[in-house]
């Protein structure tokens, strides 16, 4: 790459200036789409049970009063999130089903393209009333990060196991219908200074990362204290 | 001795350019695909207000690519060495304050970043690496005429006044 010699050797900087212009142009051409793709879109299509005022999270028991509010920020590809899900999901689903907590899931996608696809697919599953089931099943099948395993056909095939066979669902996944919503969720997470996944708040207070994420007993204690 | 240095200086400069530029280019390249992660890495230092950190997280990888590419090609060597060295100094300050405040983060230099488990931090290695790169940048700033550079007057060995 560094082999291009200035043929003039002396006064003429034409080649150099041309190279600078080209490099600058290429970098700008790459930068602009990134900036555009990261812009929040308030007109984004959102899946059912998403609450815009709760940071575009997937909210359960939205209108149940006087119960703890659990907010979970996670990424489908993150191994620590998979561990957290394995430890706490049954308990949290029980809280949801018995209306003993309001729960918001924020599916972040900072680990890359496959996280975005997964979050979109989770939105599609929510429209089928199967978000929690999809959430559990996807974590149970978590491949290594960005290994190429998570494709449209992977999600639709996986969902057959949940009893979802609906053309609208397949289209929702294939067309990445909720991609703007996925960006909005990510931006809200960034605004809230979420620097690690999972991050869990109970009634707005961050749960102790070193305790409650690895032990169901500690997590239940944190919920009961709220 | 002096004469020997005159012969070796442009070659050492080429090496410095390729290392400093290569590190910057690769560091930027590894981050552009995951802007959310890059933003998270900048936020995790807990220095900047959230909105500024998020903007910097988006733009910084592209700045690194730009400086890196121009250094590799040997265009605007002196200015890019100054910019690259300045960037590394800022990184050193940021990492040092994270260390001093007892934050547990990854520097996020080559992607990654954000919180890590206590005891998994590599602050000393990160600072030493960046200090080495500052040294290379300083060398290039002092001796900007290097082999295979697109900057003019690279044939002669005393071209500092011509750069920029």
- Rounded Cα distance between A115 and B129, Å, is 32
pLDDT reading at B162 higher than 80:
no
pLDDT in tens, B123-139: 999 999 999 999 999 99
**Residue A202 vs residues A49, A64, A219, A226, B98: alpha-carbon distances, Å:** 20, 15, 10, 7, 27
B59/chain A closest Cα distance in angstroms? 7
Q: What pLDDT score was predicted for residue B11? A: 95
Pairwise CB contact (< 8 Å): A16 & B44: no
| Average model confidence (pLDDT) across chain B | 90
Pairwise CB contact (< 8 Å): B36 & A10: no
Pairwise CB contact (< 8 Å): A30 & B32: yes
Residues of chain B found within 8 Å of residue A10, distances taken between Cβ atoms? 152-153, 155
Question: What is the DSSP secondary structure assignment for residue B148, as one 8-state letter?
Answer: T
Which tokens belong to A210?
């070193």
Nearest to A132 by CA among A198, A190, A61, A65: A61
What SS3 state is found at B105? strand
Q: What is the mean pLDDT of residues B105-118?
A: 86
Q: What pLDDT score was predicted for residue B56? A: 96
Q: What pLDDT score was predicted for residue A11? A: 53
Whether this prediction's pTM lies above 0.90 is answered by no
Residues with Cβ within 8 Å of A216's Cβ and at least 6 positions away in sequence, in order, are A87, A88, A91
Q: What pLDDT score was predicted for residue B163? A: 45
Question: What is the DSSP secondary structure assignment for residue A73, as one 8-state letter?
Answer: E
- Residue B153: pLDDT band with limits 50, 70, 90: low
> A120-134, B1-15, B88-102: which has the minimum mean pLDDT?
B1-15
pLDDT in tens, B33-84: 899 999 999 999 999 999 999 999 999 999 999 999 999 999 999 999 999 9
Element (H, E) at B24: helix B2-32
What number of C-beta contacts closer than 8 Å exist between A and B? 107
Measured on CA atoms in the order A123, A126, A132, A135, is the torsion positive or negative?
negative
Per the model's pLDDT, the better-predicted residue between A59 and B7 turns out to be A59
Q: Which alpha helices (H) appear in chain A, and where do they start and end? A: 14-37, 79-97, 113-127, 131-140, 152-160, 167-174, 179-191, 216-225
ipTM exceeding 0.90?
no
Which tokens belong to B154?
């690279």
pLDDT in tens, A62-113: 999 999 999 999 999 999 999 999 999 999 999 999 999 999 999 999 998 9
Pairwise CB contact (< 8 Å): B149 & A190: no
In chain A, which residue's Cα lies nearest the Cα of B153?
A10
pLDDT along chain A (226 residues), means of 10: 45 84 95 92 93 95 95 96 95 97 96 94 96 96 94 94 94 96 96 93 92 91 90
CB distance A72 to A200 below 8 Å: yes
CB distance B68 to B25 below 8 Å: yes
Q: Is B59 near chain A, with CB under 8 Å?
A: yes
- Residue length, chain B? 164
Q: Tell me which long-range contacts A218-225 makes (C-beta under 8 A, separation of at least 24).
A: A219/A87, A219/A88, A219/A91, A220/A91, A223/A68, A223/A70, A223/A95, A223/A101
| Cis, peptide link before residue A198, omega less than 30° from 0 | yes
Q: Could you write out the DSSP letters of every residue in B70-101?
A: HHHHTSSHHHHHHHHHHHHHHHHHHHHHHHHT
What SS3 state is found at B145? coil
Question: What is the DSSP secondary structure assignment for residue A151, as one 8-state letter?
Answer: -
Q: Is B107 near chain A, with CB under 8 Å?
A: no
CB distance A102 to A202 below 8 Å: no
Residues of chain B found within 8 Å of residue A209, distances taken between Cβ atoms? 115
Helix axes A113-127, A131-140, angle to 10 degrees: 140
Residues of chain B found within 8 Å of residue A24, distances taken between Cβ atoms? 66
- Residue length, chain A? 226
Q: What pLDDT score was predicted for residue B156? A: 46
Element (H, E) at A205: strand A205-206
- Residue B120: pLDDT band with limits 50, 70, 90: confident
- Rounded Cα distance between A76 and A12, Å, is 55
Q: What pLDDT score was predicted for residue B161? A: 46
């Amino acid at each position: 790459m560094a082999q291009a010699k200035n043929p003039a050797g002396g006064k003429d900087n034409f080649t150099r200036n041309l190279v600078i212009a080209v490099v600058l142009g290429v970098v700008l051409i790459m930068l602009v789409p990134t900036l555009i793709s990261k812009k929040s879109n308030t007109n984004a299509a959102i899946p059912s049970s998403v609450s815009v005022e709760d940071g575009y999270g997937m909210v359960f028991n939205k209108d149940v009063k006087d119960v703890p509010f659990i907010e979970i920020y996670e990424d489908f590809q993150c191994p620590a999130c998979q561990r957290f899900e394995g430890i706490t999901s049954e308990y949290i689903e029980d809280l949801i089903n018995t209306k003993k907590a309001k729960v918001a899931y924020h599916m972040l996608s900072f680990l890359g393209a496959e996280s975005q696809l997964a979050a979109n697919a989770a939105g599609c599953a929510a429209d089928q009333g199967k978000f929690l089931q999809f959430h559990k099943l996807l974590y149970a099948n978590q491949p290594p990060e960005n290994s190429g395993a998570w494709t449209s056909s992977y999600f639709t095939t996986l969902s057959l196991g949940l009893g979802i066979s609906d053309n609208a669902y397949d289209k929702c996944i294939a067309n990445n219908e909720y991609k703007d919503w996925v960006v909005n969720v990510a931006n809200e997470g960034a605004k809230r200074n979420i620097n690690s996944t999972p991050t869990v708040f109970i009634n707005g207070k961050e749960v102790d990362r070193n305790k409650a994420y690895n032990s169901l007993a500690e997590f239940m204690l944190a919920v009961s204290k709220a | 001795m002096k004469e020997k240095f005159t012969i070796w200086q442009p070659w050492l400069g080429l090496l410095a350019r390729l290392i400093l530029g290569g590190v910057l280019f690769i560091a930027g390249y590894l981050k552009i695909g995951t802007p959310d992660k890059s933003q998270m890495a900048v936020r995790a230092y807990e220095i900047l207000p959230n909105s500024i950190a998020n903007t910097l997280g988006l733009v910084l990888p592209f700045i690194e690519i730009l400086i890196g590419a121009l250094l590799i090609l040997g265009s605007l060597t002196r200015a890019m060495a100054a910019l690259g060295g300045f960037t590394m100094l800022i990184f050193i300050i940021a990492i040092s304050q994270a260390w001093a405040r007892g934050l547990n983060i990854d520097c996020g230099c080559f992607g990654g970043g954000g919180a890590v488990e206590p005891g998994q931090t590599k602050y000393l290695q990160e600072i030493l690496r960046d200090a080495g790169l500052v040294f290379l940048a300083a060398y290039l700033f002092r001796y900007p005429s290097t082999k295979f550079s697109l900057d003019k007057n690279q044939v002669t060995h005393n071209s500092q006044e011509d750069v920029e």
